Amino acid sequence: MAQKYLIRRGEDREATFELRQEGGITLVRREDSDEWKVVGLERVGDSGLYLLMIDNRPTEIYLERRRGGADVTIGRHTFSYDVGPWRPAGRRAKAGAPPSGLVRIAAPMTGSIVEVRCAPGDVVVSGQVLLVMESMKMNNELRSPADGTVEAVPVVAGARVKANELLVSLRTI
C-alpha cells in the first residue's frame, strides 16, 4: 500500500512522492511520473555520508536529520526539506498559513544588526524587509512572515545579537 508524502523546501517549492514496500524492496514515485524507482539508502560508516541507490545507480549524499525533515547536500547544493504525510491542498493551505496574533521574529544566527527598517507601530506587509543582519561578513535581510503591525523592536543598529534572540515582535492581522 503506497503512502503519500509531501516534501517542502522554503515557502513555495514542494513535491509529492509516493512510497511503497514490496518484498523487502522500497519503491518511490514522483506524483507526476508513471515510473516507480527502486531505491535504497544506507549510511556509510559513522559519518553523515549516505549511499543513495536509485535503480541501482549509486550517489553519495550527505544528510543531516533535523526536526520535521532533513538537510541534504548533493554536489554543491544543500537543500533543506520538510517531510510530512501528504494532506489535501485545502487543509494544507490552512495549516501553512501564518498564525494570527503575536509573532516572534528571532535572530537566525549570532551576528550584529546592520540596519533596522521598522519601528513599533509600523504597518508592514508579508515579505517586507524588517531589518538587516550581518553574520560571517554577509548581510542577511530579515523579512516579515505576514502582514501586521510591529509591536516592539528591542534591538538597534550596531547591536550584537545571539542566535534566537528576539529582534521584532509582530501583531499579525
**Contacting positions for another protein (CB under 8 A):** 3, 5, 7, 15, 17, 19, 24-26, 28, 30, 37-43, 47-50, 52-54, 59-63, 65-70, 72-77, 79, 81, 83, 136-138
d(CA 162, CA 166): 9
C-beta closer to another protein: residue 2 or 152: 2
Which SS3 state, helix, strand or coil, does residue 140 take?
strand
C-beta closer to another protein: residue 55 or 101: 55
Contacts of 156 (CB under 8 A, 6+ apart): 113, 116
Residue 93 C-beta: closest distance to another protein, Å: 21
C-beta closer to another protein: residue 48 or 98: 48
C-beta closer to another protein: residue 73 or 126: 73
Residue 57 C-beta: closest distance to another protein, Å: 9
Residue 132 C-beta: closest distance to another protein, Å: 17
Residue 40 C-beta: closest distance to another protein, Å: 3
Torsion angle defined by CA atoms of residues 166, 167, 171 and 173, in that order, rounded to the nearest 10 degrees: -120
Residue 25 C-beta: closest distance to another protein, Å: 4
Q: Tell me the chain's radius of gyration from C-alpha atoms.
A: 21
- Centre a 10 Å sphere on the Cβ of residue 173 and count the other Cβ atoms it contains: 12
Nearest to 64 by CA among 81, 76, 52, 86: 81
How far are the Cα atoms of 19, 48, 151 from residue 65, in angstroms, in the given order?
19, 9, 35
C-beta closer to another protein: residue 27 or 103: 27
